[in-house]
Structure 1
Amino acid sequence: MEEAIVLVERSGRVGIVTLNRPRQLNALNDALMDALGEALLSLDADEGIGAILLAGGPRAFAAGADIAAMVDWSYMDVSQGEFITRNWETIRRVRKPVIAAVAGFAMGGGCELALACDIVVAAQTARFALPEVKLAMLPGAGGTQRLPRAIGKAKAMDMCLSARQLDAQEADRHGLVSRVVPDERLMDEALALAREIAAYSLPALIAIKESVNRAYESQLGEGILFERRQLYGRFASEDAHEGMKAFLAKRAPEFSHR
C-alpha cells in the first residue's frame, strides 16, 4: 500500500502536518497540495487544536513545484483549472497559527509555501530561493508579492531576477525566517514553539494573526481601526477576563478557548 503524501498527527493541542514525497524532495504537485489543504482545514476546524506545525524532510522542506506535471500545460489548462488559486491558496483560509519547520531546500513553490506560513523556524541547512526565472517563468504562488513584504524590494528583486539563494542566516537577517536553530533540534524547537503558542487562548491567537496580517496587507489607518475592533472584541471573551484575573491573582490562567 502506497504511503500517504501528507502525514497528519497530533501532539496535545498541536497538529503536525508533514509533506511526504521524499523521493521527489517534496515537489508540490496538485495531489500534494490538495492533501495539504484538506489536512490544514481539518486541523483548523478541530476545537482541540490551537496551532499547526508544517514540516518537510531533512533534505528538503519542498524543492518547488513539480515541473514534470506542468511541462505540457497550456494557458487555457492553467486558467480554466485555476492553477494555484484552487489549492495552493487554501492556507490563507487557516485562522490558527501555522509554523513552518524548514530544513534543506525551500525552492520555488517551497519557498512560497514557507512565506505563506505565520512563523518560519529554519534549520541551519535551510536554503531559500525563487529560481523560476531559469525556466522563463515567475514565482506565481505569492512569491512576487509576499517576498518584498518580508525582506524588502531590493533583496526580493535580487532573488527573483537572479535566482539567488539565501542561506538560513541571511534569510534570518533579512526577515524571511523567524529564527534559526541547529538541524538536529529543528523539530524539537519548532514543536516546543507550537506548543507554547497553542497553550494560549485560541480566540486571542486568531485575533492577533488577523491583525498582523491586516498590517501586512493594508494602510496604517485601516490597520489601526481593525486592531482596535479586535481589542474591543477581547472584552467579550471569557479567556481575556480569565487571563487578567489570573494575572492579578498571580496564578496560571486556565483558558477555555472561548
Structure 2
Amino acid sequence: MTVEYETRGDIAIVTINRPERRNAVDGPTAQKLFDAFERFDRDENLNTAILQGADGNFCAGADLQAVAAGKGNTVEKTGPLAPMGPTRMRLSKPVIAAVEGYAVAGGMELALWCDLRVMAASARFGIFCRRFGVPLIDMGTIRLPRLIGQSRASDLILTGREVDAEESLAIGLANRVSGDGEALDMALELARQISAFPQKCLRNDRQSMHDQWAMDHDTAMRNEIELGLETLRSGETLAGATAFSKGKGRHGQF
C-alpha cells in the first residue's frame, strides 16, 4: 500500500509508503492521501492526525518519473483534490507532520499544510523543484510566507536551497526538533497533549485562527466571538470552570 492508515487511541497516523521513490507522490498516492485525511476528519473518535513518510524520508515531492512519462499528478484549477492530495483541504482537526530525512518540493508543501511540524535533527526542507522548473501549486507560495514571513520565504522559494533543522526551528518553519528516528515519538507526545484538551474549544479557536486570513479586522472579530459563543454554549467552558474550582489544573497540572 502506498498510503498506510492506522489509529492509536484518538490519534490517526498516515504514512506515505513509497520508499523506493523517497515517498514521492504520484496521482494514485495523492488520491489515497486525500481519502485518508477525509476519513480522519469524519471519524468522531479521532482528535489529531500525524503525517509521516516511511523508511527515513518524509516526502520528495511529486514523482517526477511519473511526470516525465506523461502520468503526472492531476492538476485542476478548482476542486478539493490537489496535485499532492490533501493540501486544499480545510480539516476541522489538527495534523502534525513528523519529518525525517527529506521534505522537499511538494513534500515540503505537504508539511506546510500541517498545523505543526516536528523535525528530526538531520532532516531537511527545501524547494528543490526550483532546479527542474516544477512550480509550487500546493499552496506553498501562500503558506510559506504566512508561516515565516515574506523575506525568508523569498529566500527559500527563489534559491531552492536546503534548510536544516536548526534554521527551521529558528525561523518558525519547524515547531519542535527531535533526535534522528524520534520524530514520530515526539509527534505522538504532542498529539496526545492536544487530544487531551476540550475539543470544541480547541477546534473553534483553531478555526478562527485560520478564518481570519481572509477577513478584515471587524469581520474576524465577529467570527471569533461567534465561535467563542458556540464553545460557551457547548458546556465545555462551564465544565472546565467547575473542574478548576475543585482544584484541577492548578500549578500547571492537567
Matched, 1:116 2:121: no
Query: Partners of 1:48 and 1:107 in 2: how far apart?
Result: 32
Moved more, 82-91 or 129-138: 82-91
Query: Any idea what the Cα deviations from partners look like across 1:1-46, whole Å, max 9, x if unmatched?
Result: xxx1111111111111111111111101111111111111111111
Query: Partners of 1:241 and 1:151 in 2: how far apart?
Result: 37
Query: Partners of 1:5 and 1:222 in 2: how far apart?
Result: 42
CA contact 1:131–1:160 (8 Å) conserved in 2 = no
Matched, 1:128 2:128: no
Q: Structure 2 residue aligned with 1:106, among 90, 103, 106? A: 103
Aligned equivalent of 1:189: 186
Cα pair distance change 1:225/1:5, threshold 3 Å: same
Matched, 1:226 2:223: yes
Report the AA paired with residue 144 of structure 1.
T
Query: Partners of 2:77 and 2:207 in 1: how far apart?
Result: 31
Report the AA paired with residue 231 of structure 2.
R
Q: Structure 1 residue aligned with 2:171, among 174, 199, 204? A: 174
Q: CA deviation at 1:186?
A: 1.7
Query: Partners of 1:157 and 1:91 in 2: how far apart?
Result: 22
Query: Any idea what the Cα deviations from partners look like across 1:132-170, whole Å, max 9, x if unmatched?
Result: 221123211111111111111122111111111110111
CA contact 1:124–1:180 (8 Å) conserved in 2 = yes
Identity percentage of aligned residues? 34
Moved more, 143-152 or 235-244: 235-244
Aligned equivalent of 2:237: 240
CA contact 1:37–1:91 (8 Å) conserved in 2 = no
Query: Partners of 1:237 and 1:30 in 2: how far apart?
Result: 41
Cα pair distance change 1:56/1:85, threshold 3 Å: closer
Query: Partners of 2:179 and 2:135 in 1: how far apart?
Result: 32
DSSP-derived class of the 1:184 partner: coil
Q: CA deviation at 1:84?
A: 5.8
Aligned equivalent of 1:34: 31
Aligned equivalent of 1:24: 21
RMSD after superposition: 2.4
Aligned equivalent of 1:160: 157
Report the AA paired with residue 21 of structure 2.
Q
Cα pair distance change 1:81/1:67, threshold 3 Å: farther
Cα pair distance change 1:239/1:83, threshold 3 Å: closer
Moved more, 63-72 or 170-179: 63-72
- Normalized against structure 1, the TM-score is what? 0.87
Q: CA deviation at 1:89?
A: 4.0
Count of aligned pairs: 248
- Normalized against structure 2, the TM-score is what? 0.89
CA contact 1:84–1:141 (8 Å) conserved in 2 = no
Query: Partners of 2:154 and 2:77 in 1: how far apart?
Result: 30
Query: Partners of 1:49 and 1:80 in 2: how far apart?
Result: 31
Cα pair distance change 1:49/1:83, threshold 3 Å: closer
- Could you tell me which runs of 5 or more consecutive residues in structure 2 were left unpaired when the two chains were aligned: 250-254
- Could you tell me which runs of 5 or more consecutive residues in structure 1 were left unpaired when the two chains were aligned: 253-258
